[in-house]
Structure 1
Amino acid sequence: MTTAEQIRPDLEQALAPTGLVLEDVTVTPAGHRRVVKVLVDRDLAAEPDLVTERTDPLTLDEVADATRLVSDALDASDSLGELAYTLEVSSPGVGRLLTEPRHYRRNVGRLVEVHLADREVTGRLTAASSAQATLEVPATKKDPARTETLAYAEVTKAVVQVEFARPDESKES
């Protein structure tokens, strides 16, 4: 069992009352220390199966609170031993692959690029459930605008696209 697997239950228990979930944990050596990277995100278990509204990202205060809880849990655990460590707690970044239905549900409203076995589709994620995602695909020279519903089983890769100015943001002059 890896160190990350050993500490995972303690971290999940520490985060449980906060409404946050442990998305991932990695422990890597860095000289005479270790770097413990923890990804946390909002728990959507209480949400309905079909999500059609944008989920608010974590605030800096929520990440700071999670950092304190994770640090306390690691200090109380003997899984890391006496060796010093550096703790990094954050939320998943934009470039993280969408691999679980909960990842799609968290990113409703965002522009996503989805790779299927035979093609790629880029569009705004308008709805996501436990089985499928719905994208609004803009018109191109060859194709009119359309709505596509894709089963997760068909997806080979999906990632959120970086947008510097979203179309729904009001422009200030």
Structure 2
Amino acid sequence: MAAADQARLREVVDAVVTRAGYDLEELTVVAAGRRRLLRVVIDSDHGVDLDDAAAVSRDISGEFDDLDDDADPMGAAAYTLEVTSPGIGRPLTLPRHFRRARGRLLAVTGPDGAALIGRVLRAGDTEVVLLVGKSGLESRTLAYSEIARARVEVEFGPPSAAVLALLGPETADKFDQDEPVDLGDEDVPDEEDDLPDDEEDLPDDDEEDDEVRTRR
């Protein structure tokens, strides 16, 4: 796609996404067999669920349908439109990314290559405050200019009660703190009879926040 068409495409999509109340985080067009894949990544302070992605997908499709053929940045060739939310491993590069990651554990690399693991306590326009240390209760303030790379780390359980208290109830509610349930022998599914026979029966992990629509 020519640079002018790419710029026009971003302009059109960004206007639709902004009007719907979201931020356009990424826009890519890649070849997918005989078609092209237009992938639009959106986000907001309240997140993005399947209904949100579907609504924005319809808005983008409607906007393209209203354009004259000459003004349509995707042209006449067939393509597939995919609207999705950012993945957990996406780089954090803007203040809003850190703000939306409040309570999350980050892997941060400084300009000198030094690595740091910390949990986002709060984030402003110029700096972020992380909870660091073995206990996770020490605070450290970093200017965004001191961060070369930052990504959210995958966690398999909530932080300690002391850390949750520092984060506050609104952020603490994001973590599932349900006590584990003892199912007993009778409630445990049989490995051969009760589990899906093949991978096709398993739900797609990304299904809950993706909306894919085929255009033209």
Aligned-pair distance for 1:164?
2.8
Aligned-pair distance for 1:147?
0.6
Mapped to 2, the partners of 1:80 and 1:120 lie a distance apart of 42
Q: Which amino acid aligns with 2:6?
A: A
What residue is the counterpart of 1:155 in the other structure?
Answer: 147
Alpha-carbon contact 1:14-1:69 (below 8 Å) kept: yes
Secondary structure of the equivalent of 1:81? Answer: coil
Q: 1:127 aligns with which of 99, 109, 122?
A: 122
Q: Which structure has the highest strand share of the two? A: 1
What residue is the counterpart of 1:41 in the other structure?
Answer: 43
Q: 2:82 aligns with which of 76, 82, 88?
A: 88
Q: Which structure has the highest helix share of the two? A: 2
Percent identical: 37
Cα-Cα RMSD: 1.9
> How has the CA–CA distance of structure 1 residues 56 and 14 changed in structure 2, closer, same or farther, with 3 Å as cutoff?
closer
Q: 1:139 aligns with which of 134, 141, 150?
A: 134
Mapped to 1, the partners of 2:137 and 2:42 lie a distance apart of 35
Q: Which amino acid aligns with 1:166?
A: P
Aligned-pair distance for 1:3?
3.6
Large movers: runs of 4+ above 6 Å = none
Q: Which has the larger radius of gyration?
A: 2
Alpha-carbon contact 2:98-2:123 (below 8 Å) kept: yes
Aligned-pair distance for 1:171?
2.5
Mapped to 1, the partners of 2:6 and 2:87 lie a distance apart of 20
Mapped to 1, the partners of 2:40 and 2:150 lie a distance apart of 22
Say how many residue pairs are matched: 158
Secondary structure of the equivalent of 1:9? Answer: helix
Aligned-pair distance for 1:33?
1.2
TM-score (norm 1): 0.83
Structure 1: stretches of 5+ with no match in the other structure: 43-54
